[in-house]
Amino acid sequence: STSGKSSERLGFSSFLRAVLPPETAASSDAMAMRLSRRLLSLPAIKDFAQYEAIKTSKAPIMVGFYTGHFSLASKMYMEQFEAMSKSYPKAAFYTCDVDDAPLAAYDAEVAEVPSVVIQPLGLKPDGSYYDKTDMVVVAPELAQFDQVISRAKAALDGIEVIDDEAERQPWQFDPSTGTTLPPHK
């Protein structure tokens, strides 16, 4: 039998060829190559500063896909989120692992993964500014993970943002909630 130590000495592909039948090993080798070439096209938030920087960007809406390295559903629906991002070129799409940037997840009020958080940043149609109360958190209800992306798309389609030419100011820490709020205009 092959032990775990032999897999450390051999490369992964060599290990697979050693333990799997030839036809399976060949297809696994090809799959390993495909997976290694797949690159995520969306920026991944790794700390709170990166998250805050998106709020001061020119994008009218920020849309985040909050995941967990432990979540199979997060991995399953990542490609659908990436496809959704291509439909909204003006919005700032990003991903965030809740373990990598827990303050960003807390600020976005994420309670379950995968979740999509939509925060409009520009002006409302009536001319007032969007703020934290306009944030939409789309989380799986009753473990219906397959509906998160479609519900997020519907929520995003329902938000109208007027472009604001003014330079955005950094959001301010709110000690009463432990989150951030847009600067008062």
154 or 40, which is more confident: 154
* Strand 179-181 to 92-97 pairing: unpaired
pLDDT (0 to 100) of residue 179: 77
Which residue intervals of 87-147 are DSSP H helices?
102-107
pLDDT (0 to 100) of residue 177: 75
Nearest CA to 52 out of 185, 176, 182 is that of 182
What 8-state DSSP symbol labels residue 98? T
What is the tens place of the pLDDT at every residue in 22-80?
Answer: 665 455 445 444 444 445 579 999 999 999 999 888 899 999 999 999 999 999 999 99
pLDDT (0 to 100) of residue 116: 97
pTM for this prediction: 0.73
182 or 150, which is more confident: 150
pLDDT (0 to 100) of residue 12: 55
pLDDT (0 to 100) of residue 1: 45
